[in-house]
Amino acid sequence: MKKLLIIGAVLLLFMGLAEAKTRNMYGVKGGVNIAKLQISETDGSVDTSTSLGAVVGVLMQSRPLRNLIIQPELLYSQKGSDIQDTDKLTISYITMPVLLKAALRVDSLRIQPLAGPEIGYALSAKSANDVDYINDLNRVNIGINLGVEFVYSTNYMMGVRYFHGLTELDKSAAKRPAISNNCWSVTAGYLF
């Protein structure tokens, strides 16, 4: 998995250096995740609710066509869930979404619907009661993003997106219900 993240970082670097006919912009972003673990086939014995986590990172925008943007990001992202009103599980990831965005313009506001895959690697998984679950989880998390970003005055951006996890998180899923990450993210950022 570490090799995959290194390859992704190198690809980001080369995309940044290959500014032949495209105009690239770079940026920083931060915000909040509103996350919840999705547990399927449960008999109701495990009650989960949303929990808040941080999301911060860097991005690059490349515009191969006038109304098309490719936006890879490298983010630190906290996901997880409150569990039965007694505990909270926070899973900290390094994630790399690669987003395809349409560039629509309304006066000085740019509206950019987005979609794309995301791969993440879990750095830690701890409960509020200081129990470490990292060895019980599949560290690689794959999912899909859908959302929209708004860019004002060329540099200021705000966005909302939904991440739907496709990967089974629990290593022992054959014995338990399937568990996946789902998350809403609200972010603000600056492009330069």
Per run of 10 residues, the mean pLDDT along the chain (length 192 residues) is 63 54 88 91 71 98 93 97 85 98 93 98 92 92 98 95 94 72 97 94
pLDDT at 26: 97
Q: What residue ranges define each of the domains in the chain, with the CATH number in brackets?
A: 2-14+24-191 (2.40.160.20)
Give the DSSP letter string of the chain: -HHHHHHHHHHHHHHHH--SSS-EEEEEEEEEEEEEEEE-S--S-S-EE-EEEEEEEEEEEEEEETTEEEEEEEEEEEEEEEETTTEEEEEEEEEEEEEEEE-EEETTEEEEEEEEEEEEEEEEEEETT--B-GGGB-SEEEEEEEEEEEEETTTEEEEEEEEEE-S--BTTTTTS--EEEEEEEEEEEEE-
Predicted TM-score of the model (pTM): 0.85
